[in-house]
Structure 1
Amino acid sequence: MMLVFGHTGQVARELAALDPKAIFLGRDRADLTDPEACAAAIRAARPRAVINAAAYTAVDRAETDPDTAHLVNAEAPAAMARACADLGIPFLQISTDYVFDGAGDQPRSEDAPTGPLGVYGATKLAGEQGVAAAGGTWAILRTSWVFSAHGANFVKTMLRLGAERDRLTVVADQIGGPTPAADIAAACLRMISVMRDRPDTTGGIYHFAGAPDTSWAGFAREIMAQAGLGADIAEIPTADYPTPATRPLNSRLDCSRIARDFGIKRPDWRIGLAKVLEQLKDKA
């Protein structure tokens, strides 16, 4: 039996679809602002593995709520990882491209220097460090630009706005890999399986993002095209769309390590987008 922290989030929902026998702990059963309670939940369940798919993901709100963000994104994962190390079971933490400063135009490797631009990225990086310090069998999966048919995300926002307006302004100087949550979930399960079989030869930090890299504007155009919406996408620089938290301009991730260690290749996000649009059509 596997234990997953998270219940309604995008990746957690996809994990539930792939592994319905797993135990999923939502906020009502696991308060991530109480790290020791999370560790206690692991010790009580004694699962075969743990995935943390929960996080404080309100990037802008984190700027004015750093203490809560740190509890959820840094202290809770570290406590979970320590409990897993004590039990001798694999622990997988989902992280983010926001641990980088977004400089340059080349894909970042797992060993590239970090430099988060805001509270969210800083707390996620602190979580990574806490997980690594716990020892045991652990892995961190950094991903980017997550989308699915669930929750709030860029695809659903673009679909709503594209149906209401003839023209949308979308940032064009942030570049990254849109990543279907379903593919992240599948990657997580593959990683956990291999880590259980080969705990001494796998683990560490890995990158996983959809291909090909594109801008938010390019992503928006593909959404409009696949959805049959006629809204024109006008490109703007990040400077014209100010937000409380600074976004990295370069979110390209080098995903060669996860291919080498786990045989997991970058998914084509355009195929994932088509599946998400079909799911949303079925829901409607």
Structure 2
Amino acid sequence: MKILITGCHGQVGYCLVQRLNKRTGVEVIAYDREDLDITNSEQVSTIIAQLKPSVIINAAAHTAVDKAETDIDQSYAINYEGPLYLAKAAKAIDALLLHISTDYVFDGTKQDPYNENDVTGPQGVYGKSKLAGEQAVEEHCSLYAILRTAWVFGEVGNNFVKTMLKLGADRPELGIIGDQFGGPTYAGDIADALIVMMDKFAESNSDLSGVYHFSGAPHVSWYEFACEIFSQVQVHNVLKSVPKVNEITAEQYPLPAPRPANSRLDCSKIESVFGVTPSDWKFALTNIAEYKQ
């Protein structure tokens, strides 16, 4: 099996490469933007036609949520045009395309966790561009899975856990938002979920194409997430001292891009179809020292 991974230096892409390289009978082609610019239609179609991978996993994305509000063209180029070109190229060679999306495609006003059939309503450029990417994949690819996830963190790249460790080392007190809720999701668990999905597609006689939700449990606020991070910091003596964490509202900490108040995702569909259970994010934090780089 030949697998092409885009965005291989990102949080999920890195984990995918590490895991798949340990497999026998698998050829992993790991590309970052320097190797394959997914916003370049001709390059995408040419390279994929030459390589003929059986699976394409798109882990590339423009994830700078606030920057996207002004960097609109770049956000749409990477989050919409890239998936569009990959979808067309995948269809041309009958390859499976696994594409990562986000909770930001929802407006965050629903009281319960979002399922795959809920109406989308992104509030910012990032969410709008990611939704456009989803629609491009659905329209132009024959064999695909779109995996929506949320609050991603891992040992590689920029994320909330690393930000907390950095701020916690410098400040005695932190104010963290307590009225936005979601499921923190370990990047390694996303990689594992994608691999399980890939294997099931290869084994199944039925078409499993569609949208799936995968994120962590239990659902918490950013404030509760931060408290758990610093609890692990204390247990493992990662910092010299632990800051006091104060709960604040989103209104007290305005940002250029709106965030969904509710980012909780219902993951029952992916569990029933693929047997994939929600990410155990608390367990992923037990190696908290690995995030301090």
Report the Cα offset of residue 230 of structure 1: 2.3
Equivalent residues of 1:143, 1:209 under 8 A apart: yes
* SS at structure 2 position matched to 1:108: coil
Tell me the equivalent position of 1:50. Answer: 56
- 1:240 is aligned to 2:246: no
* Distance across 1 between alignment mates of 2:80 and 2:114: 22
- Percentage identity across aligned positions? 45
Q: Output the amino acid matched with 1:152.
A: N
Q: Which runs of 5+ in 2 are unaligned?
A: 22-26, 235-240
* Distance across 2 between alignment mates of 1:100 and 1:36: 32
TM-score by length of 2: 0.93
- 1:262 equivalent among 274, 282, 290: 274
* Distance across 1 between alignment mates of 2:171 and 2:75: 35
Tell me the equivalent position of 2:158. Answer: 152
- 2:262 equivalent among 211, 230, 250: 250
- Give the direction of change, closer, same or farther, for the CA distance of 1:270–1:45 in structure 2 (3 Å limit): same
* SS at structure 1 position matched to 2:78: helix
Mapping 1:144-223, distance limit 5 Å: 144-198=150-204, 200-223=206-229
Q: Which runs of 5+ in 1 are unaligned?
A: none
Equivalent residues of 1:92, 1:138 under 8 A apart: yes
- 2:116 equivalent among 110, 120, 124: 110
Q: Output the amino acid matched with 2:15.
A: E
Aligned length: 281
Report the Cα offset of residue 199 of structure 1: 5.8
Equivalent residues of 2:162, 2:291 under 8 A apart: no
* SS at structure 1 position matched to 2:216: coil
- The superposition leaves residues 61-111 of structure 1 with CA deviations (integer Å, 9 ceiling, x where unpaired) of 111121111111011101111111121111000000000000032100001
Equivalent residues of 2:213, 2:269 under 8 A apart: yes
- Give the direction of change, closer, same or farther, for the CA distance of 1:49–1:210 in structure 2 (3 Å limit): same
- Which stretches of structure 1, 4 residues or longer, exceed 6 Å deviation after superposition? none
TM-score by length of 1: 0.96
Q: Output the amino acid matched with 2:228.
A: E
Report the Cα offset of residue 60 of structure 1: 0.9
Equivalent residues of 1:143, 1:207 under 8 A apart: yes
- The superposition leaves residues 45-64 of structure 1 with CA deviations (integer Å, 9 ceiling, x where unpaired) of 11110000001111111111
- Give the direction of change, closer, same or farther, for the CA distance of 1:144–1:199 in structure 2 (3 Å limit): farther
Equivalent residues of 2:146, 2:211 under 8 A apart: yes
- Give the direction of change, closer, same or farther, for the CA distance of 1:126–1:110 in structure 2 (3 Å limit): same
Tell me the equivalent position of 1:279. Answer: 290
- The superposition leaves residues 154-203 of structure 1 with CA deviations (integer Å, 9 ceiling, x where unpaired) of 00110111122221000111100000000000001111111122263312
Tell me the equivalent position of 1:101. Answer: 107
* SS at structure 2 position matched to 1:62: helix
Equivalent residues of 1:137, 1:199 under 8 A apart: no
* Distance across 2 between alignment mates of 1:23 and 1:134: 23
- The superposition leaves residues 107-160 of structure 1 with CA deviations (integer Å, 9 ceiling, x where unpaired) of 000010000001100000000000000131100000000000111110011011
Tell me the equivalent position of 2:69. Answer: 63
